[in-house]
Homo-oligomer: A and B are copies of this chain.
Amino acid sequence: MTDICLVIGAGAGIGGHVAKRFAREGYHAALCRRSDQDGLDNMVAEIEQAGGTASGHLLNAVDDGAIEKLIDDIEADIGPINVVVYNLGAQIGNRSVADTPLKTFELGWRMGTFAVFRVAQKLFPLMEQRGGGALLVTSATSAMRGNAGQSSHAAAMGGRRMLCQALNAEFAPKNIHIAHILIDSAVNAPDTLGKLLGQERFEKLLEAKAQGKDEIMEPSAIADTYFHIAHQHRSAWTFELDMRAFTDTAWWNHPLDL
């Protein structure tokens, strides 16, 4: 039976490239995103043209029961899920506390923290029954420190990180590998960074950064590491790692303010 990799948040950045990477290695890639059926169809077609198999699924991860139904459907129609990549963020740009509606703050939590718990609660018992599995969670610097303007995002990501640790402590001994992957610099992904910065600023960044300099994170390179982590021997599992472009400053560094 084909192994299945479920990618929640399969856009043009990390999610899509991780899906392609797993598909290239023989996995069926189950791709989910909230909207853009055409985008999904294109990605499925691209994977199939490269000799892989994939399926596309529209999913609004914050809807009650939606994640749970998706997992039921895939398990029934395609087969058992071996690896889940949770790749939805909760970044809303820099917003002061006054400028962050309660509904927005709550939505950040629903996307950033709660949905991860729901995936685990639904899927881990199945994985445990089958002897194991893996959950790779894309994370952000806001999981490590809360900056000004990031109250919603930082609360969601901080909660996610501690949740992942608790999941790891409970489920690693049951052979379910949880990895919390800290993406610490800008990723070449038009539908997230592009939106955040605006088209013009994003293109300028791409131009300035990409002149042979690898200063913007390539999602295909990130995907190589996701694949490696998901296939570590279980005597040597990684729970957490950071990743950034070689020219970027790590989140813990900044110039001495003298």
Q: Would you give the shortest CB distance from A155 to chain B, in whole angstroms?
A: 4
Task: Give the contacting residue for A154; candidates B157, B162, B242, B255; CB below 8 A.
Answer: B162
Task: Give the contacting residue for A165; candidates B124, B240, B250; CB below 8 A.
Answer: B250
Name the segment of A22-30, A43-51, A144-152 touching the other chain.
A144-152
Distance between Cα atoms of A232 and B255 in the complex (Å):
26
- Please state if B166 and A151 are interface contacts (CB–CB under 8 Å): yes
Distance between Cα atoms of A118 and B97 in the complex (Å):
9
Number of interface residues of A (CB under 8 A): 92
- Please state if B252 and A252 are interface contacts (CB–CB under 8 Å): yes
Let me know if A33 is at the binding interface, CB within 8 A: no
- Please state if A224 and B232 are interface contacts (CB–CB under 8 Å): yes
Collect the chain B residues with CB atoms within 8 Å of residue A258's CB: 186, 196-197, 201, 205
Collect the chain B residues with CB atoms within 8 Å of residue A215's CB: 235
Task: Give the contacting residue for A232; candidates B177, B225, B234; CB below 8 A.
Answer: B225
- Please state if B121 and A148 are interface contacts (CB–CB under 8 Å): no
Q: Would you give the shortest CB distance from A141 to chain B, in whole angstroms?
A: 8
A interface residue numbers (CB < 8 A to B):
94, 96-98, 100, 102, 105-106, 109, 113-114, 117-118, 120-121, 124-125, 142-151, 154-173, 175, 177, 185-186, 196-197, 201, 205, 214-218, 221-222, 224-225, 228, 232-258
9 closest A-B pairs by CB: A158-B162, A159-B159, A146-B165, A146-B166, A221-B233, A241-B241, A145-B252, A148-B169, A154-B162
